[in-house]
Chains A and B, each alone.
Chain A
């Protein structure tokens, strides 16, 4: 006997929305659990205090410094490369084998898992180039990890700038590079910022790469050659060795809340850009 199409549609919809609902419940559970147990731990002394006894007590100040230091370095290294690539792909070439090759490289790089990047950073930066476990090695390896994200979002942002903008520039006698720096890039800036913010989010949450390139020293890094333990690595060590549940939850809460906020702002920026040009 065949089921009435309207009944089967009803069943299908119920199943689909149940699955979607469960997924949402899971997301809410994750965020709520970490926030409820973690945020009460976040006090000024936790944020700005030195850790004691391997992180069992005290604050997480050095890990915050290390996180910002390494992330900043990675962004400073990757942004010019990524935005430059995006400008080249969108403004200077026709679609052809060269663009396809470059895009293919970026896509493959995006698929390389972080543990492989960790192995690579470890052998090249830590050992061969002699940077040791350091902020520099970590920043360099992270830069490679976020490069594809910056390329992709910048490309989208630059493509979203209407062609008329460029034509007006040329009609006024501007060169191509002048048109790009004075008109195209400023218009695409919100989109490019989105890419950079998403990269910050990825960098803050990354563990596998940094465990083998930046090390796990709990001292506040000063020079680029100092080892630094980021918040994510600190959280991993606290959780895995069962050193301190409250501190683990506190660190996780700061990590998660900052990443979610960054992603949310990045998303809003991109939406605004899309709305402006469509």
Chain B
């Protein structure tokens, strides 16, 4: 085999590393968690909210609902802010300002999730407790913190989507007498919509998968929330809180929780990839 051929083969093997890691992750999570789901029955596992793992009750409905609500809340908080930043930067700011503001806002992505959680506990939780009532550690606190944490994802992917709209679209609209805002709303945003939707979907994936910050601010109570001020425990928090001491069937149940989370996130990622490809 010639040297060139050898190099190519080796590089091909290296290139398979990410795919094989993904495969290994999937296999191991399923091997550990699937037996319990089959034993309990998928229906019981997903539709019961009775979680008492040491007594053999494995129902994760309350956590699924909590995860979904916290994530939707994060979207309500994060998407308008993120989109506003993206539009201001991409459409209404001079290139110089954009050059400075974009990397500055992206710094938000570098701040570790534990720091967000910490500041949430110190500043946000007392505010909610004092002004809105309840224990403070709540669905609302989780949603707001996650909303801030998804900002960088929403901002940078939306800016890319807006930048990808050809300038001829804008010129055409302006030439017809439209204002810049009319152009943005009627021409640029519709043209960039699939990219923006991708940003929102990826942000949802990030929010539902986030763990440490949510553990710190959401209160972790094991029940279906009735108000935004109730404390909640998400799928991710449940895994992280109990993995340290779980064993036997209890541990299997945590991996089964992981399977549910994994499937939700893969569906979100796949739809994002699909959307990007169609574009």
List residues of A whose CB falls within 8 A of some B CB. Answer: 5-6, 8-9, 12-13, 15-17, 19-20, 22-24, 26-27, 30-31, 33-34, 80-81, 84-85, 87-89, 92, 101-102, 104-109, 111-120, 122-124, 144, 147-148, 151, 175-177, 201, 204-208, 211-212, 232, 235-236, 239-240, 248, 252, 255-256, 259-260, 262-264, 267
The contact sample of 14 A-B pairs, CB cut-off 8 A, is: A20-B88, A20-B101, A22-B81, A24-B101, A26-B148, A88-B12, A105-B19, A111-B205, A112-B22, A113-B205, A116-B25, A144-B21, A144-B25, A211-B244
Q: A81-B17, A113-B205, A113-B210 are in contact. List 9 more A-B contacts (CB 8 A).
A: A9-B180, A30-B108, A81-B14, A88-B15, A111-B265, A119-B255, A175-B3, A208-B240, A239-B118
Q: How far is the CA of A105 from the CA of B92 in the complex (A)?
A: 36
**Is A89 a contact of B117 with CB atoms below 8 Å?**
no
Q: How far is the CA of A20 from the CA of B88 in the complex (A)?
A: 7
Report the 5 A-B pairs with minimum CB-CB distance, sorted nearest first.
Answer: A113-B209, A205-B112, A84-B14, A105-B19, A19-B84
Contact A5 B179 (CB under 8 A): yes
Main secondary structure of the interface of B (DSSP, over half): helix
Q: Mark B1-44, 1 if CB is under 8 A from A, else 0.
A: 00110011011101111110110110011001000000000000
| A115-B211, A211-B240 given; A124·B24 CB < 8 A | yes
**Given A176-B4, A208-B240, A239-B114, CB of A115 within 8 Å of CB of B15:** no
Alpha-carbon gap, A97 to B85, bound state (A): 36
Set of chain A residues within 8 Å of B28, measured between Cβ atoms: 120, 123-124
CA distance A34 to B116 in the complex (A): 11
Q: Scan B140-183; emit 1 where CB is below 8 A from any A CB, else 0.
A: 00000000100100000000000000000000000000111110
Give the interface residue-count category, chain B. Answer: 35 or more
B14 lies within 8 A of A88 (CB):
yes
Query: With A19-B85, A84-B15, A115-B258 in contact, do A9 and B10 touch (Cβ < 8 Å)?
Result: no
Q: Is the CB of A115 within 8 A of B261?
A: yes
- For window 46-74 of B, CB contacts with A under 8 Å fall at none
A16 with B92, Cβ < 8 A, contacts A115-B209, A120-B28, A207-B212 known: yes
A115 to B210, CA, bound (A): 8
Contact of B107 among A5, A115, A236, A263 (CB under 8 A): A263
| Residues on B with beta carbons closer than 8 Å to the beta carbon of A120 | 24-25, 28-29
Residues of B within 8 A of A (CB): 3-4, 7-8, 10-12, 14-19, 21-22, 24-25, 28-29, 32, 80-81, 84-85, 87-89, 92, 101, 103-108, 110-119, 121, 123, 148, 151, 178-182, 184-185, 202, 205-206, 208-212, 215-216, 236, 239-240, 243-244, 254-255, 258, 261-262, 265-266, 268-270, 273
Cβ–Cβ contact A114 & B211, under 8 A: yes
Partner of B269, one of A26, A107, A201: A107
Is A105 within 8 A of B112, CB to CB?
no
In the complex, the answer to whether B17 meets A85 with C-beta atoms within 8 Å is: yes
Interfacial chain A residues near B10, Cβ < 8 Å: 84
CB closest chain-A residue, reference B184? A12
Contact A30 B111 (CB under 8 A): yes
Q: Is the CB of A119 within 8 A of B110?
A: no
A102 CA to B89 CA, complexed, in Å: 33
Cα A235 to Cα B110 in complex, Å, equals 16
- Which residues from chain B contact A264 at a C-beta distance below 8 Å? 103, 107
Tell me whether A116 and B112 are in contact (CB under 8 A): no
Write the nearest CB–CB distance from A173 to chain B, whole angstroms. Answer: 14
What separation, in Å, do the CA atoms of A35 and B236 have in the docked complex? 29
Interchain CA distance A119-B28 in the complex, whole Å: 9
Chain A residues lying within 8 Å of B3, measured Cβ to Cβ, are 175, 177
**A24-B104 in contact (CB<8A):** yes
Residue of A nearest to B215 (CB): A240
CB-nearest residue of chain B to A201: B110
Asked if A208 contacts B112 (CB within 8 A), the reply is: no
* Residues in A neighbouring B105, C-beta threshold 8 A: 23-24, 27
Q: Give the distance in Å from the alpha carbon of A9 to the alpha carbon of B87 in the complex.
A: 13
Does A119 contact B258, Cβ atoms closer than 8 Å?
A: yes
> Is the beta-carbon distance between A147 and B262 smaller than 8 angstroms?
no
State how many angstroms separate the Cβ of A55 from the closest Cβ of chain B.
Answer: 14
Q: Which of B4, B114, B211 has the most CB of A within 10 A?
A: B114
Q: Are B151 and A84 in contact (CB under 8 A)?
A: no
Q: Is the CB of A260 within 8 A of B110?
A: yes
CB pair B14 A115 closer than 8 Å: no
Q: Find out whether the CB atom of B181 lies under 8 angstroms from the CB atom of A207.
A: no
Q: Chain B residues with Cβ under 8 A from A87's Cβ? A: 11
Check if A19 sits within 8 Å of B81, measured CB to CB. yes
Most buried by B among A89, A113, A262: A113
Among A119, A206, A259, A263, contact of B243 (Cβ-Cβ < 8 Å): A119
B4 to A177, Cβ gap below 8 A?
A: yes
Taking CB atoms, residues of chain A closer than 8 Å to B32 are 119, 123
Asked whether B21 lies within 8 Å of A109 as measured between CB atoms, the reply is yes
